[in-house]
Chain A
Amino acid sequence: MEKKYLTRRDFLRLSGMVIGGVALTRCAPVATQTPPPAMEEATQPPASPSTVTLEVNGWKYQAGRDSQKLVFEALERDLQGIKLEVTGASTSDWYVQIKSRFQSGDVPDVVLMEPGAGLREYSPLLLPLDDYIAKTPEVQEDKYFPSAWKEAQVGGKVMGLPGFLGVQSPWYNATIFEKLGVEKPPANYDELKEVAKACRDGGFLPFLVGGKDGWHRLDAIQHVIHSFAPGKLYEAEAGSLSFNDPDFVAAFEVWGEMFANGVFQDGAIGMSAYPDCWDLFVQGKAGMINMGSWATSELLPGLTEGITDRYMPMFFPDLSGSGKKVATSGVDQLYCIPKDAGLPDESWKVIAWMTQNDIKYTNDSGALPSRLEGVWPDILSNAQDQNQLEEIKKFYMDALNIATRRQLIYPELRSGLEEVSAAVASGQMTAQQAVEKLDEVSQGIERS
Chain B
Amino acid sequence: MQSSGIENNIARHRGIQWDDKVSPYLFILPATVVFCLFVLYPLIYNFKIGFYKWDGINPVMQFIGFDNYITAIKDTAVHKALKNSAVWFFTTVFIQATLGLFMAVVLGKGIRGATLFRSIILIPVALAPALTATIFRIMLEPSFGQINEFLRGIGLSSLAKNWLADPGLALWCVIIVNIWIWTGFSMVMYQAGLQAIPEELYEAAVLDGANPWQQFSRLTFPLLKGTHASLLILGAIGTLKTFDIVYLMTAGGPFHASQMPSNYIFTKSFLESKFGYGSALSVLLLLVSLLVTVIQLRLYKKWRS
Binding site for B on A (CB under 8 A): 5-8, 11, 95-96, 99, 102-103, 121-122, 124-125, 205, 211-214, 265-271, 276, 280, 285, 411, 415, 419, 422-423, 425-429
Contact = CB atoms under 8 A, between A and B. Distances in A.
Contacts of B163: 267, 270
Contact of B255 (A103, A125, A423): A423
B143 A99 contact: no
B289 interface: no
21 contacts: A7-B11, A7-B14, A11-B26, A95-B270, A121-B58, A212-B254, A265-B142, A266-B142, A266-B143, A267-B141, A270-B140, A271-B141, A271-B164, A271-B165, A411-B55, A411-B273, A422-B253, A422-B254, A423-B254, A426-B165, A428-B254
Contacts of A428: 167, 254-255, 257
B253 A99 contact: no
Given A270-B163, A426-B254, A121 B57 contact: yes
Interface stretch (B17-25, B114-122, B229-237): B17-25
A99 B275 CA distance: 11
Contacts of A6: 15, 18-19, 22-23, 26
Interface string B16-58: 1011001100100000000000000000000000000001111
A429 B55 contact: no
B221 interface: no
A270 B164 contact: yes
Contacts of B26: 6, 11
Interface in B162-189: 162-167, 170
B170 A5 contact: no
A419 B57 CA distance: 24
A126 to B, nearest CB: 11
B137 interface: yes
Contact of A267 (B18, B138, B165): B165
A99 B15 CA distance: 51
Contact of B143 (A7, A267, A429): A267
B270 to A, nearest CB: 5
B272 interface: yes
Given A95-B270, A270-B163, A426 B257 contact: yes
A409 to B, nearest CB: 14
A95 B271 contact: yes
A211 B254 contact: yes
Given A7-B18, A11-B18, A270-B162, A103 B56 contact: yes
Nearest to B21: A8
B255 A422 contact: yes
B270 A267 contact: no
Nearest to B137: A276
Contacts of B22: 6, 11
Looking at chain B's contact residues, is the secondary structure mostly helix, strand, loop, or mixed? loop
B38 to A, nearest CB: 15
Interface of B: 11-12, 14-16, 18-19, 22-23, 26, 55-60, 137-138, 140-144, 162-167, 170, 250-251, 253-255, 257, 270-273
A124 B54 CA distance: 13
B55 A121 contact: yes
Given A6-B23, A96-B270, A423-B255, A125 B58 contact: yes
A15 to B, nearest CB: 10
A102 B57 contact: yes
B268 to A, nearest CB: 9
Nearest to B164: A270
Contacts of B254: 211-212, 269-270, 422-423, 425-426, 428
Given A211-B165, A276-B141, A426 B253 contact: yes
Nearest to B57: A102
Contacts of A419: 255
Contacts of B270: 95-96, 99
A267 B170 CA distance: 11
B16 A5 contact: yes
A270 B143 contact: no
Given A95-B270, A269-B165, A427-B167, A124 B141 contact: no
B143 A265 contact: yes
A364 B137 CA distance: 27
Nearest to B165: A270
Of A5, A7, A11, A213, most buried by chain B (CB within 10 Å of CB) is: A5
B15 A5 contact: yes
Contacts of B166: 270, 426
B141 A121 contact: no
B18 A268 contact: no
A428 B251 CA distance: 17
A371 B253 CA distance: 39
A178 to B, nearest CB: 21
A265 B143 CA distance: 8
B272 A99 contact: no
A23 B41 CA distance: 20
A214 to B, nearest CB: 8
A342 B254 CA distance: 44
B165 A99 contact: no
